[in-house]
Structures are given as structure tokens and as C-alpha cells.
């Protein structure tokens, strides 16, 4: 088969979940299907941190173009070269799609449908337009969780459920198992003013839709208890435009000095934060997949998450859950995990077992099976 892949996102400076997904699948496609030919289309040089492994059956197609590349130059190249299947991992497909090619699109989430107030009007219109045209016009849709598939069918009820295949993300575990010397630990503890197993951890965006405000409120309540007065809260994430509610909570907290906001950090430091946490909390009321849950599992940290959507789907019985609207419910779950050592050990054991169900290799094999299923289908 001759397969075209739109991987222009790998040129970007910013690293996010979608780009990590594309990179990791490309790290495996070439070895899984050596008889197929993969053309990697992008605009400029790959970001070195996102550059995929190159195989002999890969063709690096770097084609600059000044504007609307995915909707102009990319479809031109598809038509000119001719492909069996085009894989679009970025929630849009060319409006001028080649009638002689089949199209597979990956949908990661539909968060703006639930939290429109957190997206600028123009951006929301773009997301709506491109997602709808991609879902309706693609020959096959890959959803990264059952939760995402349900959202697709909810917001686009005319879509045939059989057209949507669920393929779970993988994740990279090696960096989470990094070993740190006493000197490295001492240096990082001094830098961030925290000690091992004496802090709660959150990893993700700080925009208001992530519901971090409820974690801060729960932390405030815990800090008033003598048993938890020395506890700290580490928020690993970057400030975004829609972070006003979150920052207001941080600034008003009587325990402000014990709330550490790291901003962007290297993966090495992130691994250290995971490994040293007493508990990991994912308060988001909406997740397309919930990758930090798996990362915490591998780092052997008990996980507390919201009792809905992808967090519940991915965590299953390895995590414990609370209602995302209920601060007291989160406080109670934190008290259990922080006070019951036997419970925490049981959660860690289950988390490690659950994490074994996911890998980038498995994700690549299943995604490639969907792509290859479109070969020789009638156009």
C-alpha cells in the first residue's frame, strides 16, 4: 500500500498530546508493515523533540507553503502522487479530497463542545467546522477512547457507529522509570522546596476547564487538619489565556506558599515529580484519553480522578474517583489515600497491572489495521 500521512504538527515548537501521539505511531509503523510505503508530509524541519524514527519504507516529504498548507498544498500533493489511503491524525481532512484515495481521521476529543466559554469564538468555529467535515467525510474514524466515540455519536448522530473504531493511546514508560541519584534528588528538592512523598501532584493544563480550582480548594481544607499541615501541592502545567479562575484560587489560598506552579519543565523533572508524589489527582471533568493517569500508575503513585469519561474508562478499578463538582468528596478521597497505607499499596499494584494494557506498539498496530482495512475498498 501507498499511505500518505499528514504530520505537519511535528514541525511545531510546542509539544502536546496529539504531537506525541503522531511521533510515537510513526516510530512503529515502518517496522510493523515493512511491505507498505509511508509518505510523511510536512512543511519544514521537524522539531528535534518530535522527529520520528525514519525507516527505509518512509519518504520524508518536506514541502514549504505559506498558508493553509493542509487545505491547499497537501491535497495537491495527494492528488498528484496518488495514494491508497491518507491518514489525518489532526482532526481535519482536506476539503478538496482526492476521490481516488480513502481517508482515515483520528479524533482526540471534542472538549470545546462541553466548554465553549474556554475557547475564543473564532477558534471554536474552526474546531467545529474542521471536526464536523472530517468526521462526516472521512471513510473511517479512529477515536482514542470509548468516551470520545460516544461524544462523536452524541454530537454527530448521523454518523454510523460502525464507522468509528476505538484505538487507545499508548504511552512511553521508560522515562517514568528513570533513576535519580541522591545528589539529583537533593538538587531538585532544593529548587522546588519540596520533599519526597510530601506533596499532591497535578499534571496538565491550568486553564479553567481542567477544574484545577476544586483541587486547590480541597488542598486548602486538608491543610487545616493537623495531620496534613505540612502537605504541599505541585501543579505541573503552563498558564493559558483561560486560567483566571484557577489563578484566583491560588492567590486567595491561605496556603499559597505551599502551592508550587512549575510552568513548562523537562521530562526528567516530570519523572521526578511523579515518583515523589504522595498522590496524583486528575480533577478534569473531561478527558479525551487521560494519559497522566497511566503515567502516575507507572510511577507507582495512587490516583484520584473524576468519576466520568475517559478518566474512569482508563483508570478502571486501579484508581478511586470523586464527583468533579464536589470538593468535600475529593477531600474525603484524599484523606483515605493519604492515611491508609494498605489502600495506597493496593492502588499502586492495580495501577501497574492496568498500565500493562497500553503501549505505543499496540496503538500503532491497531491504528495501522484500521488504515490498511481501507485498501481496495470501493471509492
What domains, with CATH codes, occur in the chain? 2-170+360-372 (3.40.50.2000), 174-355 (3.40.50.2000)
Neighbour tally for 45: CB within 10 Å:
10
- DSSP H helices, the chain, are 17-32, 73-81, 111-114, 121-137, 146-155, 182-192, 212-223, 244-252, 267-276, 291-298, 309-315, 327-339, 341-355, 360-372
- List the chain pLDDT tens, one digit each, 379 residues: 999 999 999 999 888 889 989 999 999 999 999 999 999 999 999 999 899 999 999 999 999 988 899 999 999 999 999 999 999 999 999 998 888 999 999 999 999 999 898 888 999 999 999 999 999 999 999 999 999 999 999 999 999 999 999 999 998 888 999 999 999 999 999 999 999 899 999 998 888 888 899 999 999 999 999 899 999 999 998 776 778 888 889 999 999 999 999 988 888 899 999 999 999 999 988 888 888 999 999 999 999 999 988 999 999 999 999 998 899 999 999 999 999 999 999 999 999 999 999 999 999 999 999 999 998 655 4
Taking Cα atoms as reference points, which of 29, 73, 83, 75 lies closest to residue 52? 29
Distance (Å) of CA 86 to CA 75, 149, 239, 378 = 10, 21, 35, 15
Exposure of 17 in the CB half-sphere (CA atoms within 13 A): 18
Report the distance separating Cα 219 and Cα 254, nearest Å: 10
Three-state secondary-structure class, residue 115: coil
The pTM score is: 0.88
Amino acid at each position: 500500500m501507498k499511505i500518505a500521512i499528514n504530520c505537519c504538527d511535528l514541525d511545531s515548537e510546542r509539544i502536546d498530546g496529539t504531537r506525541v501521539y503522531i511521533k510515537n505511531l510513526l516510530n512503529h509503523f515502518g517496522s510493523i508493515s515493512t511491505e507498505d510505503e509511508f509518505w510523511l508530509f510536512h512543511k519544514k524541519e521537524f522539531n528535534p523533540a518530535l522527529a520520528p524514527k525514519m525507516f527505509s519504507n518512509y519518504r520524508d516529504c518536506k514541502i514549504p507553503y505559506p498558508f493553509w498548507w493542509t487545505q491547499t498544498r497537501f491535497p495537491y500533493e495527494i492528488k498528484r502522487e496518488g495514494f491508497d489511503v491518507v491518514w489525518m491524525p489532526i482532526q481535519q481532512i482536506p476539503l478538496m479530497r482526492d476521490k481516488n484515495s480513502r481517508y482515515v481521521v483520528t479524533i482526540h476529543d471534542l472538549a470545546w463542545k462541553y466548554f465553549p466559554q474556554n475557547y475564543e469564538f473564532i477558534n471554536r468555529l474552526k474546531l467545529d467546522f474542521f471536526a464536523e467535515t472530517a468526521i462526516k467525510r472521512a471513510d473511517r474514524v479512529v477515536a482514542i477512547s470509548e468516551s470520545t466515540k460516544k461524544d462523536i455519536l452524541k454530537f454527530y448522530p448521523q454518523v454510523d457507529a460502525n464507522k468509528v473504531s476505538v484505538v487507545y493511546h499508548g504511552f512511553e514508560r521508560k522515562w517514568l522509570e528513570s533513576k535519580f541519584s541522591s545528589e539529583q534528588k537533593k538538587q531538585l528538592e532544593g529548587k522546588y522546596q519540596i520533599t519526597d512523598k510530601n506533596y499532591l501532584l497535578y499534571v496538565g493544563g491550568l486553564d479553567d476547564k481542567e477544574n484545577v480550582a476544586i483541587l486547590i480548594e480541597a488542598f486548602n481544607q486538608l491543610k487545616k487538619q493537623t495531620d496534613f499541615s505540612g502537605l504541599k501541592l505541585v501543579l505541573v502545567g503552563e498558564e493559558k489565556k483561560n486560567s483566571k479562575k484557577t489563578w484566583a484560587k491560588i492567590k486567595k489560598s491561605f496556603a499559597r506558599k505551599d502551592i508550587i506552579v512549575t510552568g513548562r519543565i523537562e521530562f526528567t523533572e516530570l519523572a521526578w515529580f511523579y515518583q515523589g508524589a504522595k498522590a496524583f489527582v486528575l480533577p478534569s471533568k473531561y478527558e479525551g484519553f487521560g494519559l497522566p493517569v497511566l503515567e502516575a500508575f507507572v510511577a507507582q503513585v495512587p490516583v484520584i480522578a473524576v468519576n466520568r469519561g475517559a478518566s474512569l474508562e482508563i483508570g478502571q478499578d486501579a484508581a478511586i474517583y470523586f464527583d468533579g463538582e464536589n470538593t468535600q468528596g475529593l477531600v474525603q478521597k484524599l484523606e483515605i489515600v493519604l492515611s491508609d497505607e494498605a489502600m495506597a499499596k493496593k492502588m499502586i499494584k492495580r495501577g501497574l497491572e492496568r498500565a500493562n494494557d497500553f503501549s505505543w506498539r499496540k496503538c500503532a498496530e491497531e491504528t495501522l489495521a484500521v488504515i490498511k482495512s481501507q485498501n481496495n475498498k470501493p471509492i
